[in-house]
Amino acid sequence: MSSSSQAGWRAQLKPGNPPKSLLIVNKLRTKVVVDAIDTLLAYVREKYPTLRVFHEDRPDIPDGVEVWHPGPNAEPVDLVVTLGGDGTILHASSLFKVGAVPPVLSFSMGTLGFLLPFHIDDYAKALDSAFEGRATVLHRMRLSCQFHSADGMPMDAHCEDWQVMNEIALHRGSSPHLNTIDIFVDGQHLTEAVSDGLIVSTPTGSTAYSLSAGGPIVHPSLSALVLTPICPRSLSFRPLVFPSSSTITLRVSERSRASAGLSMDGQVSHVLGPGEAVTVQASLYPIPCINRSSIAEPEDRTGEGAGPGKEDDWVRDINNLLQYNATFRSKALLRHSRT
Amino acid sequence: MSSSSQAGWRAQLKPGNPPKSLLIVNKLRTKVVVDAIDTLLAYVREKYPTLRVFHEDRPDIPDGVEVWHPGPNAEPVDLVVTLGGDGTILHASSLFKVGAVPPVLSFSMGTLGFLLPFHIDDYAKALDSAFEGRATVLHRMRLSCQFHSADGMPMDAHCEDWQVMNEIALHRGSSPHLNTIDIFVDGQHLTEAVSDGLIVSTPTGSTAYSLSAGGPIVHPSLSALVLTPICPRSLSFRPLVFPSSSTITLRVSERSRASAGLSMDGQVSHVLGPGEAVTVQASLYPIPCINRSSIAEPEDRTGEGAGPGKEDDWVRDINNLLQYNATFRSKALLRHSRT
Amino acid sequence: MSSSSQAGWRAQLKPGNPPKSLLIVNKLRTKVVVDAIDTLLAYVREKYPTLRVFHEDRPDIPDGVEVWHPGPNAEPVDLVVTLGGDGTILHASSLFKVGAVPPVLSFSMGTLGFLLPFHIDDYAKALDSAFEGRATVLHRMRLSCQFHSADGMPMDAHCEDWQVMNEIALHRGSSPHLNTIDIFVDGQHLTEAVSDGLIVSTPTGSTAYSLSAGGPIVHPSLSALVLTPICPRSLSFRPLVFPSSSTITLRVSERSRASAGLSMDGQVSHVLGPGEAVTVQASLYPIPCINRSSIAEPEDRTGEGAGPGKEDDWVRDINNLLQYNATFRSKALLRHSRT
Amino acid sequence: MSSSSQAGWRAQLKPGNPPKSLLIVNKLRTKVVVDAIDTLLAYVREKYPTLRVFHEDRPDIPDGVEVWHPGPNAEPVDLVVTLGGDGTILHASSLFKVGAVPPVLSFSMGTLGFLLPFHIDDYAKALDSAFEGRATVLHRMRLSCQFHSADGMPMDAHCEDWQVMNEIALHRGSSPHLNTIDIFVDGQHLTEAVSDGLIVSTPTGSTAYSLSAGGPIVHPSLSALVLTPICPRSLSFRPLVFPSSSTITLRVSERSRASAGLSMDGQVSHVLGPGEAVTVQASLYPIPCINRSSIAEPEDRTGEGAGPGKEDDWVRDINNLLQYNATFRSKALLRHSRT
Ligand SMILES: NC(=O)C1=CN([C@@H]2O[C@H](COP(=O)(O)OP(=O)(O)OC[C@H]3O[C@@H](n4cnc5c(N)ncnc54)[C@H](O)[C@@H]3O)[C@@H](O)[C@H]2O)C=CC1
Ligand SMILES: NC(=O)C1=CN([C@@H]2O[C@H](COP(=O)(O)OP(=O)(O)OC[C@H]3O[C@@H](n4cnc5c(N)ncnc54)[C@H](O)[C@@H]3O)[C@@H](O)[C@H]2O)C=CC1
Ligand SMILES: NC(=O)C1=CN([C@@H]2O[C@H](COP(=O)(O)OP(=O)(O)OC[C@H]3O[C@@H](n4cnc5c(N)ncnc54)[C@H](O)[C@@H]3O)[C@@H](O)[C@H]2O)C=CC1
Ligand SMILES: NC(=O)C1=CN([C@@H]2O[C@H](COP(=O)(O)OP(=O)(O)OC[C@H]3O[C@@H](n4cnc5c(N)ncnc54)[C@H](O)[C@@H]3O)[C@@H](O)[C@H]2O)C=CC1
């Protein structure tokens, strides 16, 4: 199993080198999730008996599963399996803050999402493709950030080494007042933004909060940073797309009436006061996400018989999820019921 | 049958005064439309034998139907029935350029649209509600316009007395160059717009071209004019909503590199050169459109048993047609198919 | 001095009936504001010696000025003068929660704003026009609201009788999670919104928060309600404009993961939990705002010599403030400095 | 003088290898342009006497300047100088359809633009920096395209080898009807678009037509394609950003009521009928545009004394041209004039 180190590029997992350890990640403990974990465990124990299986520390982890603690001294993990919604992958990402991340196989519990290529019913096919080295991955870029106090000194923030998959968002939160934030790109002043807040998003995050705030949809294999204002007072402030080599600094203006709450992938981390700043950059450690096309049968493919991984899941998802092709009229058809 | 003369307000059709003449309007002559006309004719001849039935002059109008010519000397019409898409009502509207318009009963041939309250299969119920004076109407505002030459003189344009239901649009058409258009509101200069064009829309038209260009959705019972720029160079030019008492003048700037094609309800009418202008105002003659709730059974209603016409078709349509409540997630559910 | 009771319409102030009492409203106590109040007081004492002058209760109110307490038993006020920014008028509005509001004369301290027709240096001209009954007013619509608990009962909220000039906004505030809010129009379900929040705005407020969130600009003499979503997950949720006769109810869904903070004109008032609702309606009590054109000299006017109040301040403001006519190019010109 | 062959990256021009031939490009023949050409010619003849100077074939080309014909057999050109607006560079680009393009030095005649780094008064400094190998370039990506007939065969279109700097746009032009266009990305169907048209833009073109249509602003050093719909009927069709390695095919649907006019950098080229398609890809031949920072004095620089070419002209332009930092309020200040 190999994974190119360049963010945003697909790599073939290597045959002949099956994962030796597996980390199961789930947020919810609903019956459907618990049952799915049991089924999956039964399957891997039968088929891959030497595999070590880990789980985060929780009172109720399944029998025979070892407790896993994140951090620099974590036990090595060769494959991550997530069960749940998009938020479950975001959580899995947050467990790997240091160093390279193992490939992630994400199962939905019934609804498919942007970050959920596999339906839980396909667990066997999907696991086998990973174990047999047939899986292909999309390296989803992540962001890392650094904090600076009002006097420009690096701040010793506990979340210093947080890695985000979707976005870093600064927001006025429950303050009734607009933020004033100075934006710098590679050290150069871009503008002063008076707004509800600002989002620095990865291409992956471009379909999350940034999209709701009016940002463009960016293909996850592009290496780019998206800067999207949230309800800006200036009508001319449009979303901007930068190369992933750019460094973006957001500094709460000394004149700002409000401080700004910082969230990373939807987790509120801390609050920046006037003069304080966060600097955002592409992280060295993308998340290798296993593609749905890894398990596609040749006959499923569109186009002229491209091999595994050639088809672009994302293009299909965009078409399906956003229903681009739905004009008002065809939507009307969906509901067509007589009065 | 009565209809308040104020645009945008609902009025009850009067019982005891059934329509004496009916105009059938259709654009397409597909078999399904022809059959529907036949069925409808059979019904009204049987049930309302004294009714005169008219149709526009066409080689193939049905037996016993009289030819009708629009214009100041047109035969009086008490009820209009349209069969087709939204474009068919726009066409019906264009037949009534002078004076008040009779109530319009619009049937869709299978797809429901914004302007198509009735499904053709409900023809009997719908006609009966109109003949028995139980129907309620929504007075949809229309626009009228006047043209001025570069020296400010009124221009003798053949479409002087056109009445539009959706919008008046100025557009660069096939010219590669941007238009420069000066906008005046009640004679006062609002701005100079450099863009692909401009739309002046009714609330009815707010879900047509104006919406595609980024305009707001305006309830058709509001008396208002919507001014929406099409691809403006200025980022700060946002859609504007004016009271229907406003007069909006669009004048192609003398400096404009391109002339501007004028369309009314999607019909290209003529081209304005530099210095020429069009002045748009609410027309005196709205279109009384019969509501779907006219035929609703008491038990169909939401809310606490409001009488006919109390329910707001439009609110329901907006919900259904635009699928507001569809987040990405619920859309994903629609397609949920295993890989 | 008269003022039509209909929101959004202009009325002529009546000659021969000068104000007998004046309320001065200011938020800041900066030297420039304090000096301006002194100058203004000296002027009215000299010119209108019988005038009673009021001020809100503050330790440092000027000599000879009487303390004024808002509420049902407040001393009658014939004219309000505000000195400060747009927020100062919003504050003045909040002082008049019950019954009709006296005309408001708003002075800026140097910057002109949307709600600030007069420059402080013009105080004499502006006051005289009001005292001599030459002033014209724009009745700016306000909103009132009612709260309902999860069981549908009216809630005894202390802000029950708040009146807002700009908008009522529901927002997730510092919760990281999206709100789910059900929207009803005249009791009919419009849609379920998953978003950062929702804004119900007056035409006046259409250039405030609603504009930042992507809403249209609505002329303040139109009687309308604007519903603008804040960062909605559904891409098809566009701003909507309703007649001012509509009643809009926003109910935090039982399924909402977050409660929603409610702000009125930027003041956080309270928090709605799942099942709780706010119902918004046009208030009976608009704010009569004195127009800048009240003091325009005949020769200042554009157009063909319209009388006072005929010119539309707002159209000019829109042009100036939003710089509609600024294409990128002409903006470039502004800065044109050689390298 | 060197130029990296990778689109979108900056390279240092090489010292010790001054240009031997110069092509002057201008569209207008106004006195100010003619005078500027004369001044510039006098300067280069004096300072670089061996330089050959070319101009396109026109009746009035200056004395001693040789006629230059574009095409595969064109005389080699080492440096292009443009005098005029952004359109002049677009025209210069259109002269180089085959093979690599020499560096382009663009002078504005007074207004600065996105593509016009130099003011004409700086001609000496700017030319010297190019001749002495001190200039740095930004490689602006271009697009090339291929046409296919309804039966899928490559079409022998005369503009087959056109290279575009800004965008390829399909538009309904003067047809009143919406286009229906199928979009394919790397051969996979993305969606069917019902709209006025579609834009495929380079990062350079992201501040041109695409921006007016609602697209994001993309840094020109990112290698990406932007797909922006023009007035789409589907509310959920948002602008999309793809890696520059993507191939985008736009095919007019067989069901489309209108054919689609194709323009390249604002030049209407030809019309695609139902079934016909255009395929767009990043071209091998970007345009090396000389940066303004090439002539900046060390003391002009912001930041910590970065060497020539380190400062990002574009970030400064975005700030200046779009006036991001202008909230309504500060714009109001600009105009602050007493009533
Ligand atoms: N107004 C908005 O749109 C807001 C969006 N968010 C997003 O929520 C994310 C956190 O997600 P949860 O913990 O699940 O919170 P959550 O349970 O509040 O869900 C957020 C929604 O966003 C979806 N989502 C998450 N990542 C996505 C992606 N990359 N592309 C498309 N859809 C995506 C989820 O499926 C879910 O529907 C944040 O990273 C942020 O992007 C957070 C706050 C406001
Ligand atoms: N980019 C765009 O969205 C454009 C839209 N149009 C619209 O097309 C209208 C003419 O319609 P047709 O003759 O049927 O031409 P058409 O056959 O080209 O159809 C236009 C589409 O707009 C729909 N439509 C028409 N009026 C509507 C309304 N009031 N609300 C919601 N949808 C509406 C029709 O159902 C149809 O789907 C024009 O009045 C204009 O509003 C015209 C050109 C471009
Ligand atoms: N993201 C945004 O745009 C937000 C806007 N606001 C607005 O701020 C208002 C409260 O104002 P302040 O107490 O002064 O707070 P503030 O001091 O935070 O100022 C808000 C800004 O909005 C301007 N403003 C207020 N009303 C306006 C109107 N009707 N038209 C145009 N501009 C207007 C003010 O001049 C000021 O520049 C709220 O009613 C809300 O509309 C509040 C929160 C976020
Ligand atoms: N509605 C719109 O915004 C439209 C824009 N255009 C643009 O015009 C371009 C052709 O330009 P011209 O021949 O000069 O025609 P033109 O004389 O009609 O000018 C178009 C405007 O776009 C500006 N412009 C051109 N390229 C730009 C860029 N890359 N970034 C920022 N501004 C730019 C020009 O300075 C000028 O202000 C096309 O490539 C297209 O991008 C063309 C049609 C409509």
CATH fold group of domain A143-282:
Tumour Suppressor Smad4 (2.60.200)
Ligand 1 test: best mutation among A25, A28, A86, A94, most atoms within 8 Å of CB? A86
List Cβ neighbours of C299 (8 Å cut-off, separation of 6 or more).
none
The Å distance, Cα B217 to ligand 2 centre, comes to 15
pLDDT band at B337 (very low <50, low <70, confident <90, very high): very low
Q: What is the pLDDT of residues C180-216, one digit of tens each?
A: 999 999 999 998 899 999 999 999 999 999 999 999 9
Could you tell me which residues are beta bridge partners of residue B201?
B167, B226
Whether the per-residue pLDDT at A301 is higher than 60: the answer is no
pLDDT value at residue B271: 93
pLDDT value at residue D300: 47
Give the DSSP letter of residue A256: -
The answer to whether the CB of D193 is under 6 A from ligand 2 is no
Residues of chain D with pLDDT under 50: 1-12, 299-309, 324-339
Q: Would you call B212 an interface residue with chain C, using a CB distance cutoff of 8 Å?
A: no
State the first-to-last Cα distance of chain A, in angstroms, to the nearest integer.
58
pLDDT band at B303 (very low <50, low <70, confident <90, very high): very low
Q: In angstroms, rounded to a whole number, what is the distance separating the alpha carbons of residues C279 and C185?
A: 10
Q: Would you call C118 an interface residue with chain D, using a CB distance cutoff of 8 Å?
A: yes
Q: In angstroms, rounded to a whole number, what is the distance separating the alpha carbons of residues C199 and A293?
A: 42
Whether the per-residue pLDDT at A307 is higher than 60: the answer is no
Q: Which one is predicted more confidently, B314 or C68?
A: C68
DSSP states of B4-18 as a string?
A: -SSTT-EEEPPTT--
Strand B287-290, strand C52-56: pairing? unpaired
Nearest-CA distance D234 → chain C (Å): 8
Q: Would you call B48 an interface residue with chain C, using a CB distance cutoff of 8 Å?
A: no
Category of B207 on φ-ψ map: left (φ > 0), alpha (ψ -120 to 50) or beta: alpha
Domain boundaries, chain A: 10-141+287-322, 143-282
Residue whose CA is at the smallest distance from ligand 4 atom 4: D209
Q: In angstroms, rounded to a whole number, what is the distance separating the alpha carbons of residues D170 and D209?
A: 12
Q: Give the number of other CB atoms < 10 A from CB of residue D109.
A: 18
Q: Which one is predicted more confidently, A189 or B297?
A: A189
Contact C104, D326 (CB under 8 A): no
Q: Give the number of other CB atoms < 10 A from CB of residue A30.
A: 12
Residue B142 carries which side chain, given as an amino acid letter? Answer: R
ipTM rounded to 2 decimals: 0.93
Contact A162, A144 (CB under 8 A): yes
List CB contacts (< 8 A) between A176 and chain C: 263, 266-268
- Which residues of A are catalytically annotated? 86
List CB contacts (< 8 A) between D230 and chain B: 196, 231
Q: Give the number of other CB atoms < 10 A from CB of residue C6.
A: 11
A-B Cβ pairs (cutoff 8 Å, strict): 74
Question: C: neighbours with 3+ CB pairs under 8 Å?
Answer: A, B, D
pLDDT value at residue D114: 80
The Å distance, Cα D207 to ligand 4 centre, comes to 9
Give the DSSP letter of residue D10: E
Atom of ligand 3 nearest to the CA of D329: 37
Nearest-CA distance B35 → chain C (Å): 36
Is the CATH code 3.40.50.10330 the one for domain A10-141+287-322? yes
Question: D: neighbours with 3+ CB pairs under 8 Å?
Answer: A, B, C
Q: In angstroms, rounded to a whole number, what is the distance separating the alpha carbons of residues D170 and D201?
A: 11
Separation in Å, CA B87 to CA A299, B83, B265:
43, 10, 9
Q: In angstroms, rounded to a whole number, what is the distance separating the alpha carbons of residues D128 and D20?
A: 13
Q: What is the pLDDT of residues B220-264, one digit of tens each?
A: 999 999 999 999 988 888 999 999 999 999 999 999 988 999 999
Q: Which strand (E) or helix (H) includes residue A180?
A: strand A179-185
pLDDT value at residue B8: 32
The candidate with the shortest Cα–Cα distance to B146, out of B158, B160, B156, B164, is B160
List CB contacts (< 8 A) between C110 and chain D: 336
**Do A302 and D188 lie within an 8 Å CB cutoff?**
yes
Q: In angstroms, rounded to a whole number, what is the distance separating the alpha carbons of residues C223 and B256?
A: 36
State the first-to-last Cα distance of chain D, in angstroms, to the nearest integer.
58
Q: What is the pLDDT of residues C39-97, one digit of tens each?
A: 999 999 999 999 999 999 988 888 889 999 999 899 999 999 999 999 999 999 999 99
Q: In angstroms, rounded to a whole number, what is the distance separating the alpha carbons of residues C106 and C93?
A: 12
Whether the per-residue pLDDT at C269 is higher than 90: the answer is no
pLDDT band at B329 (very low <50, low <70, confident <90, very high): very low
**Do A211 and C176 lie within an 8 Å CB cutoff?**
no
Q: What angle do CA A195, A199, A205 make, to 5 degrees?
A: 150
Nearest-CA distance A298 → chain D (Å): 15
Q: What is the pLDDT of residues C248-268, one digit of tens each?
A: 999 999 999 889 999 999 998
Q: In angstroms, rounded to a whole number, what is the distance separating the alpha carbons of residues A330 and A311?
A: 27
**Do D338 and C121 lie within an 8 Å CB cutoff?**
yes
Its sign, for the CA torsion A221, A222, A224, A226, is: negative
Exactly one of B78, B86, B182, B265 is catalytic; name it.
B86
Query: Residues for chain C: how many in total?
Result: 339
